[in-house]
């Protein structure tokens, strides 16, 4: 009995020590952020990720009452921004705003120095987006059916541009060619701006591009939209049908932008970032700004669900790249 009392006292002492050790950690997570936060952007100033990061910075500053600084780390398909997060983001004061393709596409298209499914964790979606098939305004078609007929009538098929070899703008064009039985010849560029310039100049007739970068040119009548690769019509292009509507459901996968952290950031801090982000992006005024950019509202998928989505997208992209014998640089 004496031994049992001794064991009981020892367990109480161990529990008290554990609680004492836990309380400062819990309090630190509650008080976070304790200094200005950084939102590292995996894209150039003025791009989609940059615009979303600046919108998010506004919301987090209002919520937390602390400065939130946006820093652009463009280049290497997001790898520079990811490197910054990996080296400075352990305390959660450095976060990343970038598209999910850094996990599901970039590692397949290029040799990267990060582990896509273990070095990054998506905390909350800030928007969802898709690709749009756009054409030079002088291409003699006005819809997808006409485009297929036109393409099959061309001896060498159709050339199309993409913003980067090996990414969705590339594989979407090749998949469309396979499904529609139209020979498609890929012309890869380093980014949307040079590809769109050549599209407008008539050097290439077609392009699969992000809606946000093509939208101003579509609205100005400088290029024309044929179909959208997204599960439903996009608000900013409500008159443009989806590939799914037109009989190509394989071209309907949504992409999304998110705020990310290192996986080892304290769970309480991860949850704080997630809740603040989702609450701000639910506001009608913020949703309106998202739609004006050519994107749709992000959903409230959990980090686990987002990672599962990325794994599925990774497998689909890998299969497409294998079907065209693509070799990463």
pTM score of the predicted model: 0.87
Residue 142: pLDDT over 60: yes
Region 19-34: mean pLDDT is: 63
Question: Can you tell me whether residue 134 is helix, strand or coil?
Answer: strand
Q: Where in the chain is the domain with CATH 3.40.190.10?
A: 131-237
Q: Which residue has better confidence, 31 or 160?
A: 160
Q: Regarding beta strands 131-136 and 206-210, do their DSSP bridges make them parallel or antiparallel, or are they unpaired?
A: antiparallel
Gap between the Cα atoms of 75 and 300, Å rounded? 29
Determine the pLDDT at residue 43.
86
**How much is the average pLDDT of 184-205?**
95
As a whole number, mean pLDDT of residues 300-319 equals 97
Q: Where are the domain boundaries for CATH 3.40.190.150 in the chain?
A: 38-128+254-323
Q: What is the pLDDT of residue 105?
A: 96
pLDDT of 167 over the 50 cut: yes
131-237 to CATH, choices 3.90.105.10, 3.30.565.10, 3.40.190.10, 3.40.50.920 = 3.40.190.10
Compute, in degrees rounded to 10, the torsion defined by CA atoms 227, 228, 234, 240: 0
290-309 residue pLDDT tens: 999 999 999 999 999 999 99
Look at residue 122 and give its three-state secondary structure.
Answer: strand
- Residue 17: pLDDT band (50, 70, 90) is low
pLDDT value at residue 120: 96
Say what the pLDDT of residue 252 is.
95
Kindly indicate the confidence band of residue 327, based on its pLDDT and cuts at 50, 70 and 90. Answer: confident
Q: What mean pLDDT do residues 77-87 have? A: 93
Looking at the predicted structure, is the pLDDT value of residue 19 above 80?
Answer: no
What CATH number is given for 38-128+254-323 in this structure?
3.40.190.150
What is the pLDDT averaged over residues 37-46? 91
- Angle between helix 48-64 and helix 284-292 axes, rounded to 10 deg: 170
Model confidence at 201: pLDDT above 60: yes
**For position 74, what pLDDT does the model report?**
85
SS3 string, 160-202, reads EEECCCCCHHHHHHHHHHHHHCCCEEEEECCCHHHHHHHHHCC
Model confidence at 16, pLDDT cuts 50, 70, 90, reads low
Q: Give the confidence band of 219 by pLDDT, cuts at 50, 70, 90.
A: very high
Residue 180 pLDDT exceeds 80: yes
pLDDT level of residue 29 (50, 70, 90 thresholds): low
Task: Judge whether residue 22 has pLDDT over 60.
Answer: no
Query: What's the pLDDT at 1?
Result: 47
Pairing of strands 206-210, 158-162: parallel
Does the pLDDT at position 21 exceed 90? no
| DSSP label of 35 | S
**Which pLDDT value is given to residue 28?**
53
Confidence of residue 75 (pLDDT cuts 50, 70, 90): confident
Residue 225 pLDDT more than 60?
yes
Instruction: Using alpha carbons, list the distances in angstroms from residue 88 to 37, 94, 101, 196.
Output: 11, 6, 22, 36
Residue 31, pLDDT > 90, answer: no
Average pLDDT over residues 64-91: 92
Q: What is the pLDDT of residues 233-287, one digit of tens each?
A: 999 999 999 999 999 999 999 999 999 999 999 999 999 999 999 999 999 999 9
């Amino acid at each position: 009995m004496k031994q049992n009392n001794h064991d009981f006292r020892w367990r109480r002492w161990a529990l008290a020590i554990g609680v004492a050790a836990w309380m400062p950690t819990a309090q630190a997570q509650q008080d976070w952020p304790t200094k200005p936060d950084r939102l590292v952007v995996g894209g150039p100033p003025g791009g989609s990720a940059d615009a979303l990061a600046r919108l998010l910075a506004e919301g987090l500053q209002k919520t937390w009452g602390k400065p939130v600084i946006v820093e652009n780390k463009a280049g290497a398909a997001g790898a520079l921004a990811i490197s910054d997060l990996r080296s400075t983001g352990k305390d959660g004061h450095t976060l990343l705003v970038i598209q999910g393709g850094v996990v599901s596409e970039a590692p397949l298209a290029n040799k990267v120095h990060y582990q896509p499914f273990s070095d990054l964790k998506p905390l909350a979606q800030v928007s969802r987006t898709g690709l749009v098939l756009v054409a030079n305004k002088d291409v003699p078609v006005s819809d997808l059916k006409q485009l297929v007929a036109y393409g099959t009538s061309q001896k060498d098929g159709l050339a199309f541009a993409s913003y980067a070899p090996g990414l969705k703008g590339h594989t979407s064009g090749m998949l469309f060619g396979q499904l529609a039985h139209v020979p498609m010849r890929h012309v890869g560029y380093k980014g949307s701006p040079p590809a769109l310039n050549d599209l407008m100049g008539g050097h290439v007739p077609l392009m699969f591009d992000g809606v946000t970068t093509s939208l101003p040119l579509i609205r100005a009548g400088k290029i024309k939209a044929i179909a959208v690769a997204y599960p439903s019509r996009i608000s900013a292009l409500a008159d443009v049908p989806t590939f799914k509507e037109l009989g190509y459901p394989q071209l309907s996968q949504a992409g999304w932008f998110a705020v990310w952290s290192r996986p080892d950031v304290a769970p309480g801090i991860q949850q704080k970032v997630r809740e603040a982000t989702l609450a701000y992006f639910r506001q009608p005024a913020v949703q309106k700004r998202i739609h004006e950019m050519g994107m749709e509202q992000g959903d409230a998928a959990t980090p686990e669900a987002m990672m599962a989505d990325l794994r599925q997208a990774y497998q689909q992209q890998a299969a497409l790249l294998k079907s065209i014998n693509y070799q990463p640089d």
